[in-house]
Amino acid sequence: MPAREQWGTAVRAAAVGALLLGGGAPFAQQAAPPQAAACAACHGPEGRSQNPEIPSLAGQPRTFIENQLVLIREGLREVPAMKGLLDPMKDPELVALAQYFSAQKPAPAPAPRDREAFQRGQALASKMHCGSCHLSDFRGQQQVPRLAAQPEAFLVQSMKQFRDNPAPGRDTIMASALFGLKDADLADLAHFLAHSN
Ligand code: HEC
Ligand code: HEC
pLDDT (tens digit per residue) in 140-168 = 999 999 999 999 999 999 999 999 987 88
Residue nearest to atom 5 of ligand 1 (CA): 39
Are 56 and 140 contacting, i.e. CB atoms less than 8 angstroms apart? no
> Ligand 2 mean position to 23 CA, how many Å?
32
CA distance linking residue 115 with residue 197, whole number of Å: 15
Q: Before 92, cis peptide (omega within 30)?
A: no
CA distance linking residue 32 with residue 46, whole number of Å: 8
> Ligand 1 mean position to 40 CA, how many Å?
10
Amino acid 53: pLDDT: 96
The CA-atom distances, in angstroms, between 146 and each of 34, 58, 129, 130 are 24, 9, 15, 11
CA distance linking residue 19 with residue 153, whole number of Å: 31
Amino acid 167: pLDDT: 80
The CA-atom distances, in angstroms, between 52 and each of 44, 56, 91, 137 are 11, 10, 29, 21
CA distance linking residue 148 with residue 132, whole number of Å: 14
Amino acid 5: pLDDT: 45
Amino acid 168: pLDDT: 82
Q: How confident is the model at residue 16 (pLDDT cuts 50, 70, 90)?
A: very low
Mutation to probe ligand 2, out of 174, 182, 185 (largest number of atoms < 8 A from CB): 174
